[in-house]
Structure 1
């Protein structure tokens, strides 16, 4: 059973923050003229369109830039709708879709939001660093239109510009369709590329420096950051640093699977052979009908899987990292101490768990796994195993190989506050660190230490954004495999900048990976 009282407290984190609108402010950009709000030291522009509506004949098509010369200002005071969502289960929807006031969903969803310190645009000789945020959700769900990702606190406290973007997910963003060219299947990545190009072209109008752009993502958003690092070179990257929070990109299967797209097509009455006629049929199916199916009868199918097109995503990511054929920019990479606890909820049968992940093919037995985690019961063993399989071991591989081509700062986050324990044994769970970064914690339940850590963690992240080759916190050296230089953040109740980091040798964190790296990590 979930701790419902704790869950209710935590969900209040996601309630929309209400503010009194202050002075309007207008900006003229390639998307036209947009009027936002200048209030309490921050300018905000919400729901700014950067791509044409991907509907009708543009469904399952690469995004088209939205360009306008209109002089009548559009309203930029409200978050735009989310793209069509496909939730993994009701628990995840409850946690990650602001259930007390869920965002509107619409296929017309290519909007972004900008928060900038007041007066930034008028400081012609002082351009500010920029952060672009890619939300998580496993490329299956997620949106920039959550109050949890409001950039006000981060922009105001750290004197940076924050941009959050929508991109298509699930079958709308990663259709894996045999009708489409391979390079036109990873539409969500193309949406992200269009948004980054928009920032490069327009951010100066908000006071930002297009040469000081960092990209940051968590979970599926970190996968997206990793994919961007892999497909860009040192010469063409539209960013100068990357932050990967609880996620990276393993190798992709070189052979795409069209099973999900074919099954969805048939179920929705588009039973023609693969080709233009079937694609046209699917483009005429209402988006809400597709949403109902992928969240209902078709919920068991696999969504959000990029295809290896050798343009936006690759089958040989580890080889590319090894060769240095990547954007050679500094990265900040890591995960939380309990990143697996969310995904282990309700699981206690270790044998069934191992069968489900194909452990027998790697000759991994329950005895092997229990011996790696000797002091844990099977529920905790499963949670720890998922932490390693999904997060720690990929962070280890990425950090080790990226350290050969650029600066790397690696971390593990350990703060587990009482008001965030929304399910049994949650700990420092997947997503829990984001409220500290964005500063959108629940002020009515947060402890003084939590409030202080948010200030500290914002500073750490912003320090990296401002100077990505320099240590973002005292006592945090650059990552070198085998050295005492992985930052454990807020493990012992230390929440101030001068003591929040303690370093450990990566071998201590990565020891279980000798077992788990035997699994086939290709997706």
Structure 2
């Protein structure tokens, strides 16, 4: 049974939420003006204050998106779609002593799918387990969030990234009203959300507003401005219109046409970190912060998941094409990776390993090393909790650890992915580490930071 949560007074107006399982939830809280009409494709504008008490009992609409087998399977279904998407969900645990640390979580979905309201990242259990405030943030996706072109918006940072910066800014100014500590905000995310968090943390104004980073399975860099401009021009060409006319094209047409871009172009973050608007009193000071870097043991299987069901089959030539796409040209890396096929592994295993190394492991090591060299303290985790679904071929796949972290693995839409005998203890272990990180900036006295050579902390059954 749910009850009303206490009213909270923010700079934008009063909110009343819901109370359930020892947590106060304030859902669908707007942090910026709806990016519709003349605001489409442009940086987020300040939210208009409201009068009276706003009912914050339900999440808002989600960004227009195509959906996918992967997204539905691992995140759960999303709700009604519209362009009015700049809102956040805030879960506040009862009984905390003093201002609580805060986790601002950015959802994944390859920058085209996902939502802050996905059942996989409901913050109720994580807030209760960690005694920290958990926040999930919605932002613009696809072309609406990542299209850049002089004829469209004349900006050098993706609007979707600017959305997240605006959300962090609003949270920094208002979290004290929810009982949170504005000096202890950890920025985290998974996959596309992790990539966004890492990019934002390099901004001249963002870093001073966060006390830590939690990066799960997303470590790739932003793309050059010219690539984003090319993708935007190609989208207009596919629709048979001028770039400037994208401002009035129906959102559903933009989503449909975006699917035609691949593999030539993609909508991906472009960031001018010096151009991210500075917050009040936040100079370009960049202090070292603790960073949690988490990867899963079998992430590569995710990228072969096109249809629900048994393990896919690949021919040698198909596997080689995947490896050549990931490692263009006849290089030592390509030969070393593909030669595994002749020493035992089948083509599917070869492709999985190639995805794992190219998209996850190498970028994770590169980013962790760069952050370590920059003076930041790095902690590393490797997730081993495997899915029993379809004979277990997915293994510890990409995104599977997020319901483990949030404690939502037994949700009716997700529970077939998990074996409770392994998921429950893994969830408790990961949440305990998360609580330690949010409250103290480390993983405990018996868990040393990463020096570049020590093994990661293992979560789940190896």
TM range (shorter): 0.7 to 0.9
How far does residue 28 in structure 1 lie from its aligned partner after superposition?
1.3
Question: Considering only aligned residues, what root-mean-square deviation do their CA atoms show, in Å?
Answer: 2.7
The answer as to 2:93 corresponding to 1:117 is yes
Contact kept in structure 2, 1:225 and 1:244, CA below 8 Å: yes
| TM-superposed deviation, 1:371 | 4.3
Larger deviation, residues 371-380 vs 171-180: 371-380
2:63 partner SS: coil
Pick from 249, 252, 255: which aligns with 2:220? 249
For residues 72-113 of structure 1, give each alpha carbon's deviation from its aligned partner in whole angstroms, at most 9, with x where no partner exists: 1122111111111144xx4234325634xx311110110100
Q: 5+ unaligned residues in a row in structure 1: which ranges? A: 1-19, 272-277, 314-323, 493-523
- C-alpha distance in 2 between matches for 1:368 and 1:298: 28
Task: State how 1:279-294 maps to structure 2 within 5 Å.
Answer: 279=244, 281-294=245-258
Partner of 2:58: 78
Contact 2:340 2:350 in 1 (8 A): no
Unaligned runs of 5+ in 2: 277-283, 306-311
Three-state SS of the structure 1 residue aligned to 2:6 is strand
Maintained 8 Å contact 1:26/1:33: yes
Structure 2: how far apart are the matches of 1:303 and 1:86?
14
Call closer, same or farther: CA 1:480–1:288 in 2, change over 3 Å: same
Q: Structure 1, residues 189-236: CA drift from partner, whole Å, max 9, x if none?
A: 100000001110111111100001101111001101110122237x95
Instruction: Answer yes or no: is 1:439 the counterpart of 2:407.
Output: yes
**Match of 1:334?**
294
1:463 alignment partner, one of 433, 436, 447: 436
Matched, 1:353 2:314: no
User: Corresponding residue for 2:125?
Assistant: 153
Task: Tell me the distance in 1 between the aligned counterparts of 2:211 and 2:397.
Answer: 29
How many correspondences in the alignment? 440
* Paired residues of 2:65 and 2:141 also in contact (CA < 8 A): yes
Change in CA separation of 1:327 and 1:179 when aligned onto 2, cut-off 3 Å: farther
What SS does structure 2 have at the residue aligned with 1:290? helix
Aligned partner of 2:23 in structure 1 is 42
Q: How does 1:26-175 map to 2 (within 5 A)?
A: 26-70=7-51, 72-87=52-67, 90-96=68-74, 98-99=76-77, 102-118=78-94, 126-175=98-147
Tell whether 2:232 aligns with 1:261. Answer: yes
Alignment of 1:188-203 (within 5 A): 188-203=160-175
Q: How does 1:376-391 map to 2 (within 5 A)?
A: 376-391=345-360
TM superposition shift of 1:302: 3.2
Displacement of 1:458 after TM fit? Answer: 0.6
Match in the other structure for 2:280? none
Q: Is the 8 A contact 1:331 1:408 kept in 2?
A: yes
Q: After superposing the two structures, state which structure 1 stretch, 446-455 or 403-412, moved more.
A: 446-455
